[in-house]
Structure 1
Amino acid sequence: MAQAGQQPSEVVHAEPQGMEEEARLLTSLQEIPNFSKCWLRSAHADALSLTVQYSQRNLPGNSQRKYAQTMHVPKGFSGDHKVTPSFPLELKDVQMLSLSPSGKRTLIVRGASEGNSCSLEVWMGNRVTKELFVPKKQHGGVYNDGWFGNGAAWSPDESRLAYVAEAPAASQTPSWGGLVKSSGEGDDKDMAAPKTWTGQGEWQEDWGELNVGKRPPSLFVLDLKRWSLKPVRGLPPDSSVGQPEWTPDGLSLVCTVWFHKAHNFPTMPQRLGIVYCMNRPCSLYSVRIPFTCKNNTPSDLNPQAKCLTEALLSAASPKFAPGGDKLIFLSHDAAASSGVHHATAALKCLNWSKEGAQTAVETVVEVVDSLTSDDAFPGLYLGALPESPFLDSNTLIVTSQWRSSTAILAISLDSGNVQRISQHDTDRASWAFAATCQGAVVAVTSSARQPPNLQILTQAASNNPVWVPLAFEGSWPFDKAVEQALPNMQHDILKVKATNAPNLPVEAVFITHKDVASPRPTILMPHGGPHSCYPTSYFSGYTFLVSLGYNLVLVNFRGSTGFGENSIQSLPGNIATNDVLDCMACLQAAIETGMVDKDKVGVMGGSHGGFLTGNLVGQYPSCFKCGVLRNPVMDLGLMIHCSDIPDWCYIEAFGSKEGLRRMQVKPTLEDLKRWREVSPIGHADKVTAPLFFMLGGKDQRVPQRDAKQYLAAFKARQNAPETRVIVFPEDTHALDKPQTEFEQFLNAAWWFKRFLT
């Protein structure tokens, strides 16, 4: 009871209020599992064995739950019945799961414990043949990020395997305290002494976003006959190494080497961020891996790696064709030479014999500059080749962006012919290659109204390939609210002419409710990058917002991947102009469908999409009622000093040629002036829309103080619009932890509910 003269304490309500029903729907949508990896191999004469690794958000644990199931699929499967999977096996504390090509052996890498960096379990059939604990002095954590490392590389006879892990510490961290005079009576470490503590070693550079505090990736080889684990020696110093691939004779490894100083940016001496950055120079090297034996020669004990791709700025993701006569790899020279962070890739080849690479590099698939028609092949857009990508000795299977969707491509290594083998005339779904074996291909497909599901093509080489769904016995039905929401989703692709470049394609994925009776509130969503793309695949957050009554306009502006290299290179030097104009053109195209209430439009974006959100509400203040910004770029003049990719600021603001000429650690006044011209902070005084900021406390790409500086300028205005900020302290740039993803979309829905309805 309050004492006399005191006011009763005010009840503080948690925000957002009144969102209980929406929270239940979002929870159900986010619990739908995804397929993260598949292995397909021969089981017996009449069936294939398919092992599927799933990931499912564990919201209470704020983690991704991983589990696996195995099932037999009859050869020639027609989809006329469901297949029966095994019991699900949770992969708890598993950092890496790698099946050997024959399926007879499995490597399971588990996390650190009691002074060890990890444990290595080698399985043969249904039993563990050996478990090794790797001390931290031998190497650090394992890289299995899909870039430096993606599973283990098994030698042809499966007697050795190579994987990627952090290099051991270069020097021992000092210990202090506990210093007592030796007693001279045996081992003093067992005597009573003051408490010690570990001091600080020398700071070491790292690869930035998602790699903070990690030592460089290095190669290690486990010999399964001698049970010895050794580092690979002879590789270039001051470099990181990954993506190992055994040569056909099993005596050497081919790997990718990234030098820590990017020689395409000579005025940037620091190590730059590498996640999502295809413009970092890299080369392929081969190095001999000797067996441990008494007959080793001096050259075996001190091998020297050989560069295979000296003429290229970029060579990565090596894979030997099944015949062993060709080494296939990707080159991102278009990105490395221009400075843009993602561009059109080329597929390259080295002919191979017992003596190694025999000829100069040949091109299998060229960079595509422009599209000759709506259905024309737009070029290759992928960061790395799949783990086991060969349909046969002459056919490579990959997933690539194809305009506003993803497609599965079959590439002839002899002719370079590219064929889209995934369906593209129904539902405009996106497809991703998962696994192949004996002429069969497994794919993951999804769309706005269809969560990820598996399809199989049993005769991929036939003239009339037919995909059939892989349905599982015992699959648990979706929650009732999800079952009601999904069938009502529909999407279309709006084709738009660019305002000042009609020959460059612009598209938007327009997602809405199929039974729209009147114009609805609409959210414009530009993507990040800027050189990335919104595909037509399923995403729980989009289904959630459409279920609440909103249309979504996902904009693929000029500069997006999947539309040819000319489109990509048209954006650098024109950010905040071309991309903004394209966003407004896509919004107008959506309004012209008659399904959009033009007086109830919001905008939401992250990273470069947040940059565009800030520019849109500033340049077109009367068009937007509110905005949501996720780790946005708001002030390039500040970002240049704190981001792990300062090169981005020069290339995107000035264009490739001028950006490369100007690039330096200490910007000039002219540089700062240009960055202010294109940055949202330059329009802060014109914004009338309430803004919601969502920031990651550990973001190295666009650190949170960039947005907070904008907020300070915004709030300095008299009668400034309402703002709200949430900082997720443990999140990086992607803001993709399960609880963070949940809170983002629930809070965004609350914000749109307040200002658009």
Structure 2
Amino acid sequence: MVRLVMVRAVIKLQVWTNGSLEMSLDLTAYNVHGSVYEDPAFVCLAWSACERRLLFIAEKLPVKSELSGLSCSSSASTNRYPGGGDRSVYVEDWGEGFTGQSSSVLCVADLKKGGVTVLSGVPLHVSPAQALWAPNDDGVIFIGWLEEPFRLGLKFCSNRRSGLFHLDSQGNCELLSAEGVSVSCPRLSPDGHWLVYLQGRVFGPHNQCHSLQQYDWETKKTSLLQDVVKRPKLGEFAGIYESLPAHCWSSDNQRIIFSSARGNFKDLFVLDRRSKRVTLISDNSEFGCWKLLLVHNELLVVSCSAPNRPPHMKLGFLPPAGGEFGMSWVTLNHPLLTFDLEWKSLEVNPAPQEENPQFSGLYIGALLVKQVTRDSRRLPLVVFIHGGPHAQFCAEWNPSVAALASLGYAVLMVNYRGSTGYGQDGILSLIGNIGYQDVKDVQRAVLYALQEDPTLDPERIMAMGGSHGGFLACHLVGQYPDFYKACAARNPVINAATLVGTSDIVDWRYSSVGLDYSFDQLPTPEALSLMLERSPIKHAAQIRAPVLLMLGAKDRRVSPHQGLELYRALKSRGSPIRLLWYVEDGHSLGRVETQADCFTNIVVWFQQALLKH
């Protein structure tokens, strides 16, 4: 086992064997790189075939400016310093979640000699990421994020310009993928013959359905293994929307195993490289979410959960090719806690007047979670809306949802059109329609749930969400002021026009309202007017429900001044408003103490609103 430990700015690489510390390298002492990257967009920790060297990604030491370019060059200098030594010169980084991380380097720790080397030959203005050793010990394969003309935020964005590169042992670098695309997750077959990776478009939706490309290491040719799924039929494979596991190949070098969203579920699939057939190997009868953790030879390690069942670890052995359907699973652990909750998956059709003419026939997904009811009492309903917007609520264990349901609330989680798991057409249908189509979808799902389930109380409905989910929650209490009794929004987008100059993903601010983006884009009155038109701030004067805002002071994705804008608008009108300000948090409000504080305040806020009602 290998792990990286940081104590008081000292980074140590530790190698453990059978529970004992075998070796510890003080990486900081070598002074050849900065902090080690840990985010999945960059991270790698790969053994060489001889198991004497470890490959990892770290921050480059301060460097001077160079010319940009995607084409490879072995003459790339590594002795640069931004601003010629002036510490006050602005240095770009990769946005939300990457503060202080600007340019990465490929590093190799030699465990036998006890040294660390930074590999040279990486193209100018390319940050290497997700690296692995090339076949036959011939260098390194890596994803390269393009830094020029300037960096855009990487977190939660699968539409960033990048390339798949091979840096050979002589320091020569070759671009293996096409130009002008976004690529990620290179995965090499056990025999070193086949390299697969995900590919998507640049700009447009910040998250998307990917194609799976296959590179033949011997012939140096690339072919399409799995195309983008535009419009899946109900219940069928809907495409690939998330990263491939680090180990995803079967030992026969023929099959790739992965998890992916499918409607309201997350399932496990096997793709046969020869036949290009995709086979479902998970079972939704007990668990709604199957996450592949590891493939070792033919052994699959999976985490399974459902809204009423905490994660279970399961093992399964992959049968020979063609026999995957109906494979059996063994449960390794059973959670100590059980919950008296029930859930169901809903598929909702938009009203005829709410159909998208360009993408008609799409449906809305939703999950309803509540206590098992044994009497006729009606439950207050919390409408929970995911952010993104190109993300998904799958039927998995969610502690906040389970806690709300245990407190007596029913929780409706809505996958509006534009959510992942419904095909690329669903994602594209939301482009240019935010603030309208997604708002109508959530309201339609709520009305459908009220109609289908008589235990839900139509007079006690609250809305909550974060980021784009907060954007929609604020829209709902503004557009339906008599329908919702309270709102809780975490780092919500309130005014897209004022956000355009402060977000680390300025491209999405244009794409979301249907405008093309280029790096030299300048705001126009028409564009700003359209952004304002689609924003919740337009409906602020109609908001009567009590609004709770939770803001991270270090949020670089959605500036906390967005929430302050709504706070002042409501405060000036005497509307009930409370704002929680978390000084050390960014966009996700992810620190444990912050999550606990947010949940507690949301519950108290909703309870107070219902008591007043």
- When normalised by structure 2's length, the TM-score is 0.91
* Match of residue 589 from structure 2: 735
* Match of residue 687 from structure 1: 543
* Match of residue 315 from structure 1: 183
Moved more, 117-126 or 528-537: 117-126
* Match of residue 68 from structure 2: none
Seen in structure 2, the aligned counterparts of structure 1 residues 322 and 611 have a Cα distance that, compared at 3 Å, is same
**Larger Rg belongs to:** 1
8 Å contact from structure 2 (residues 188, 194) kept in 1: yes
Does residue 520 of structure 2 align to residue 659 of structure 1? no
Q: How does 1:452-463 map to 2 (within 5 A)?
A: 452-461=311-320, 462-463=323-324
Superposed CA deviations along residues 587-630 of structure 1, whole A, max 9, x for unmatched, are: 01110121211111110011000000111111111110110010
- Counterpart CA distance in 1 for 2:254 and 2:380 is 51
- Counterpart CA distance in 2 for 1:422 and 1:508 is 20
- Counterpart CA distance in 2 for 1:130 and 1:599 is 63
Gaps of 5+ in 1: 1-105, 172-197, 262-268, 290-299
* Match of residue 546 from structure 1: 405
Counterpart amino acid of 2:407?
Answer: L
* Match of residue 100 from structure 2: 213
8 Å contact from structure 1 (residues 441, 460) kept in 2: no
- Counterpart CA distance in 2 for 1:126 and 1:562 is 40
Aligned-residue offset at 1:123? 4.0
* Match of residue 304 from structure 1: 172
Aligned-residue offset at 1:693? 0.3
- Counterpart CA distance in 2 for 1:415 and 1:132 is 46
Does residue 334 of structure 2 align to residue 469 of structure 1? no
Counterpart amino acid of 2:161?
Answer: P
Aligned-residue offset at 1:756? 2.5
Does residue 39 of structure 2 align to residue 145 of structure 1? yes
- Counterpart CA distance in 2 for 1:601 and 1:408 is 35
* Match of residue 80 from structure 2: none
Counterpart amino acid of 1:741?
Answer: Q
8 Å contact from structure 1 (residues 238, 260) kept in 2: yes
Counterpart amino acid of 2:517?
Answer: L
8 Å contact from structure 1 (residues 117, 141) kept in 2: no
Q: How does 1:166-565 map to 2 (within 5 A)?
A: 166-170=59-63, 200-261=87-148, 269-289=149-169, 300=170, 303-311=171-179, 313-333=181-201, 336=202, 339-353=204-218, 358-371=219-232, 373-382=233-242, 384-392=243-251, 393-424=253-284, 426-461=285-320, 462-463=323-324, 464-471=326-333, 477-478=336-337, 483=338, 486=339, 488-499=340-351, 500-501=354-355, 503-515=361-373, 517-565=376-424
Q: Identity over aligned residues, as a percent?
A: 29
Q: How does 1:30-41 map to 2 (within 5 A)?
A: none
- Counterpart CA distance in 2 for 1:614 and 1:700 is 20
Aligned-residue offset at 1:650? 0.5
Seen in structure 2, the aligned counterparts of structure 1 residues 507 and 549 have a Cα distance that, compared at 3 Å, is same
2:312 partner SS = strand
1:522 partner SS = strand
- Counterpart CA distance in 1 for 2:482 and 2:364 is 24
Does residue 493 of structure 2 align to residue 633 of structure 1? yes
- Counterpart CA distance in 1 for 2:15 and 2:600 is 43
Does residue 507 of structure 2 align to residue 647 of structure 1? yes
Superposed CA deviations along residues 326-365 of structure 1, whole A, max 9, x for unmatched, are: 11111122xx1x5210010111111012xxxx24321111
- Counterpart CA distance in 2 for 1:524 and 1:241 is 41
* Match of residue 131 from structure 1: 24
Aligned-residue offset at 1:125? 5.1
Counterpart amino acid of 1:250?
Answer: D
- Counterpart CA distance in 1 for 2:577 and 2:288 is 37
Aligned-residue offset at 1:428? 4.8
Q: How does 1:572-591 map to 2 (within 5 A)?
A: 572-591=431-450
Aligned-residue offset at 1:750? 0.6
- When normalised by structure 1's length, the TM-score is 0.74
Counterpart amino acid of 2:578?
Answer: R
* Match of residue 161 from structure 1: 54
Aligned-residue offset at 1:664? 5.0
1:605 partner SS = strand
Seen in structure 2, the aligned counterparts of structure 1 residues 124 and 711 have a Cα distance that, compared at 3 Å, is closer
Counterpart amino acid of 1:342?
Answer: N
Aligned-residue offset at 1:121? 2.4
1:349 partner SS = strand
Gaps of 5+ in 2: 65-84
Aligned-residue offset at 1:389? 1.1
Counterpart amino acid of 2:205?
Answer: V
Q: How does 1:70-149 map to 2 (within 5 A)?
A: 106-113=1-8, 117-124=10-17, 128-135=21-28, 137-149=31-43
The alignment covers a number of residue pairs equal to 578
- Counterpart CA distance in 1 for 2:19 and 2:394 is 40
1:660 partner SS = coil
8 Å contact from structure 1 (residues 331, 347) kept in 2: yes
8 Å contact from structure 1 (residues 531, 559) kept in 2: yes
Aligned-residue offset at 1:682? 0.6
- Counterpart CA distance in 2 for 1:288 and 1:442 is 33
- Counterpart CA distance in 1 for 2:474 and 2:104 is 37
Counterpart amino acid of 1:490?
Answer: E
- Counterpart CA distance in 2 for 1:664 and 1:632 is 27
8 Å contact from structure 2 (residues 163, 179) kept in 1: no
8 Å contact from structure 2 (residues 570, 576) kept in 1: no
Superposed CA deviations along residues 377-435 of structure 1, whole A, max 9, x for unmatched, are: 111111x22111112211111111111111111111122211111112x1352110112
Aligned-residue offset at 1:199? 9.1
Superposed CA deviations along residues 220-249 of structure 1, whole A, max 9, x for unmatched, are: 012233333111110111121111111120
Cα RMSD of the aligned pairs, angstroms, is 2.0
- Counterpart CA distance in 2 for 1:609 and 1:696 is 16
Superposed CA deviations along residues 536-567 of structure 1, whole A, max 9, x for unmatched, are: 11111111111111111101000000000001
8 Å contact from structure 1 (residues 446, 453) kept in 2: yes
8 Å contact from structure 2 (residues 544, 576) kept in 1: no
- Counterpart CA distance in 2 for 1:659 and 1:695 is 30
Counterpart amino acid of 1:685?
Answer: A
- Counterpart CA distance in 1 for 2:10 and 2:138 is 27
Seen in structure 2, the aligned counterparts of structure 1 residues 124 and 489 have a Cα distance that, compared at 3 Å, is closer
Superposed CA deviations along residues 24-81 of structure 1, whole A, max 9, x for unmatched, are: xxxxxxxxxxxxxxxxxxxxxxxxxxxxxxxxxxxxxxxxxxxxxxxxxxxxxxxxxx
Aligned-residue offset at 1:725? 0.6
2:330 partner SS = strand
Seen in structure 2, the aligned counterparts of structure 1 residues 428 and 445 have a Cα distance that, compared at 3 Å, is closer
Counterpart amino acid of 1:597?
Answer: D
The higher relative CO (CA closer than 8 Å, separation ≥ 6) is in 1
Task: Tell me which of 464, 469, 489 is aligned to 1:609.
Answer: 469
